[in-house]
Structure 1
Amino acid sequence: MADRTALIEEPPSGAAAPPGPPGRIARAAALPAGLLRTARPRQWVKNVLVAAAPAAAGELAAPGVALRLLVVFALFTAAASAVYLVNDARDAEADRAHPEKCRRPVAAGQVPVSAAYAAGGTLAVCAPVAAALLCNAATAVLLTGYLVMQFAYCVALKHVLVVDLSVVTTGFLLRTMAGGVALGIPLSRWFLITAGFGALFMVSAKRYSEAVRLAGLAGATRPLLNDYTAGYLRFVWQLAAGVAVLAYCLWALEADGPAQGALLPWRQLSMVPFILAVLRYAVFADRGTAGAPEDVVLRDRPLVLIALAWAALYGLAVAGL
């Protein structure tokens, strides 16, 4: 009888060990996946803006530029991810009241608040240090300024009228400056004005879309939206769009006529697709559907084609063809 019991209790030779508690492996894998989702991979496309200054200066094809820009892209991605992690940890309660943000890993309970803070803090420390080692001191200072400003936004500035728009806009502007700073490329004043007001156009259009879409719920999801009116936000994005177009035209017209040996004034002609892109994006802003700028830019086929046309014209201008 004892032998029969032993045979029942002992697994046959070569059999797999009994599995651990159900869900342990799934829970272990869920944390890294949740942290990655909280770092917003879809938002990393914004960091392509680090190539804006070298592209505007016609330096993209210079030796070593692509590798340096890849490094700056990775550094800004790490810094931006740090901000997203800390922001989601702080806003977990408010995000649970949002129809879409409630699915974010921290708000949904997939990522503990402490883990989000720890990961965000680690990235925030490592990014500027890596910038100083891999690029130059100016890039490290710029990245540090970006992090300080964004963390101040998470803690307090997001609740201050107009300042919140300015901080988010400045974050985009610093991205456009980063590539030039890392490579030592002088930044045109018209370039900075175009980039700054172009960013303000998209940021205010996003806020306007949120105010329209979340009417009645805005206070629970983003308290400051109750203090803005839809009319004011519309005024801001319309003003910003106008200034961005004007600044770009003045920038393009700095060069009188075609470059020596060029067939046509490509730089001046690039004003046409730029204005069309602003007008096309304004369609979504006016409808209140510009709440996710990356979706608008990447999913609207006419806008993508307009952007390609602009890139082709500006590329011809840089090449002097």
Structure 2
Amino acid sequence: MAEPATVLERRTVPAPAPPKGGLARGLLRTARPRQWIKNLLVVAAPAAAGELFTPRALTRLPLVFVLFTACAAAVYLINDARDAEADRAHPVKRHRPVAAGQVPAPIAYAVGGALTVLAPVAAAWLCSPYTAALLTAYLGLQLAYCVSLKHVLVVDLAVVTAGFLMRAMIGGLALGIPLSRWFLITTGFGALFMVAAKRYSEAVQLADRAGATRALLTEYTAGYLRFVWQSAAGLAVLGYCLWALEEGGVPSTSVLPWRQLSMVAFVLAVLRYAVFADRGTAGEPEDVVLRDRALACIALVWLAMYGLAVADW
């Protein structure tokens, strides 16, 4: 009877290594510092309106960044506390601080709950009611995603996309900047492009690794995810080009037509990113951009042209 037990022991996932660091470090790791770069999208709306370097923007946008980061950290803490048991059976997620025992689940719940309350209250006090309302909507949507929406086909893509769009919107709301239809269309479909490309890459890379990926990915087909990211990429390009070609009734004093020229860089950036999406290697968007020099250079050229177009130079 000893042999079957030995075989069973060999098939079980090894226990995670003892966690390094104390409780504070574990809480910080659970807050996913590498993901904070996504919250830089809070500058998108002020940058698009040409108000990024105004005194009001320079003082308020860092605060908005911190508040949104606190909300995102709250979601991560609550999500990891809720999924601790399932994460312990996962070959990668079992090393997360809550699953590994570095952060007790009740403490993760408590800190996440405190941030969930304090961040919108601070936003209402220090920024504006609209900022607080958007943060509250973000928290509600993301927590609903953690509980049930991540198991609903298509809705999971929409919720993650909405999170990116809210990041891009909140800077404008905090500064009272009107959000144009082209900004919302381009940002929304651009976010869906990256989200669907990431899901497609996960489906391609981890198709043969049972238990190593999202359960919902087994419900999607690679062809469907490819259709979604290709459609979203096309709509994002269309929205941007319509913005670039729209004069708005205001005569331009630019030396060159920077708005129109920026279309070239934008389309090239989308096409370059699509190369990695098609290969199934478009994981985290920030990793794709930072690791590919050509894409990073194209992005910098686009930023320069876009800045000149907004400044009307």
**Percent of aligned pairs with the same residue?**
74
Distance 1:218-1:55 versus aligned 2 partners, 3 A rule: farther
* Structure 2 unaligned residues grouped into runs of 5+: 1-17
Larger Rg: 1
Is structure 2 residue 61 aligned with structure 1 residue 69?
yes
Once residues 229 and 115 of structure 1 are traced to their aligned partners in structure 2, the CA distance between those partners, rounded to angstroms, is 39
Once residues 156 and 256 of structure 1 are traced to their aligned partners in structure 2, the CA distance between those partners, rounded to angstroms, is 43
Distance 1:157-1:41 versus aligned 2 partners, 3 A rule: same
Once residues 211 and 218 of structure 1 are traced to their aligned partners in structure 2, the CA distance between those partners, rounded to angstroms, is 11
Q: Name the residue aligned to 2:8.
A: none
Distance 1:27-1:161 versus aligned 2 partners, 3 A rule: closer
Among residues 280, 294, 297, which one is paired with 2:272 in the alignment?
A: 280
Is structure 2 residue 261 aligned with structure 1 residue 269?
yes
Is structure 2 residue 154 aligned with structure 1 residue 153?
no
Among residues 196, 207, 211, which one is paired with 1:204 in the alignment?
A: 196
User: Is the CA contact (8 Å cut-off) linking 1:95 and 1:107 kept in structure 2?
Assistant: yes
User: Is the CA contact (8 Å cut-off) linking 1:257 and 1:265 kept in structure 2?
Assistant: no
SS at match of 2:256: coil
User: Following TM superposition, by how much is the alpha carbon of 1:28 offset from its aligned partner in structure 2, in angstroms?
Assistant: 10
Is structure 2 residue 90 aligned with structure 1 residue 90?
no
Among residues 124, 136, 140, which one is paired with 2:132 in the alignment?
A: 140
Number of residue equivalences:
296
- Higher mean alpha-carbon deviation, 229-238 vs 211-220, is at 211-220
Once residues 176 and 250 of structure 2 are traced to their aligned partners in structure 1, the CA distance between those partners, rounded to angstroms, is 27
Is structure 2 residue 114 aligned with structure 1 residue 122?
yes
Q: Name the residue aligned to 1:16.
A: none
* Structure 1 unaligned residues grouped into runs of 5+: 1-25
* Deviation string, structure 1 residues 195-233 (Cα, Å, up to 9, x no partner): 000000111111111111211445564211111111111
Distance 1:199-1:193 versus aligned 2 partners, 3 A rule: same
Among residues 215, 225, 237, which one is paired with 1:233 in the alignment?
A: 225
User: Following TM superposition, by how much is the alpha carbon of 1:256 offset from its aligned partner in structure 2, in angstroms?
Assistant: 7.1
Aligned pairs for 1:273-312 (under 5 A) are 273-312=265-304
User: Is the CA contact (8 Å cut-off) linking 2:19 and 2:100 kept in structure 1?
Assistant: no
User: Following TM superposition, by how much is the alpha carbon of 1:309 offset from its aligned partner in structure 2, in angstroms?
Assistant: 0.4
User: Following TM superposition, by how much is the alpha carbon of 1:257 offset from its aligned partner in structure 2, in angstroms?
Assistant: 11
One-letter amino acid of the structure 1 residue matched with residue 299 of structure 2: A
SS at match of 2:268: helix
One-letter amino acid of the structure 2 residue matched with residue 214 of structure 1: L
One-letter amino acid of the structure 2 residue matched with residue 195 of structure 1: T
Q: Name the residue aligned to 1:101.
A: 93
Once residues 103 and 247 of structure 1 are traced to their aligned partners in structure 2, the CA distance between those partners, rounded to angstroms, is 42
Once residues 262 and 145 of structure 2 are traced to their aligned partners in structure 1, the CA distance between those partners, rounded to angstroms, is 35
Distance 1:294-1:218 versus aligned 2 partners, 3 A rule: farther
Once residues 255 and 51 of structure 2 are traced to their aligned partners in structure 1, the CA distance between those partners, rounded to angstroms, is 21
Coordinate RMSD, CA, aligned: 1.9
User: Following TM superposition, by how much is the alpha carbon of 1:315 offset from its aligned partner in structure 2, in angstroms?
Assistant: 1.2
Q: Name the residue aligned to 1:168.
A: 160
User: Is the CA contact (8 Å cut-off) linking 1:173 and 1:199 kept in structure 2?
Assistant: yes
User: Is the CA contact (8 Å cut-off) linking 2:31 and 2:74 kept in structure 1?
Assistant: yes
> Could you tell me the TM-score, scaled by structure 2's length?
0.90
* Deviation string, structure 1 residues 254-277 (Cα, Å, up to 9, x no partner): 127995331111011111111111
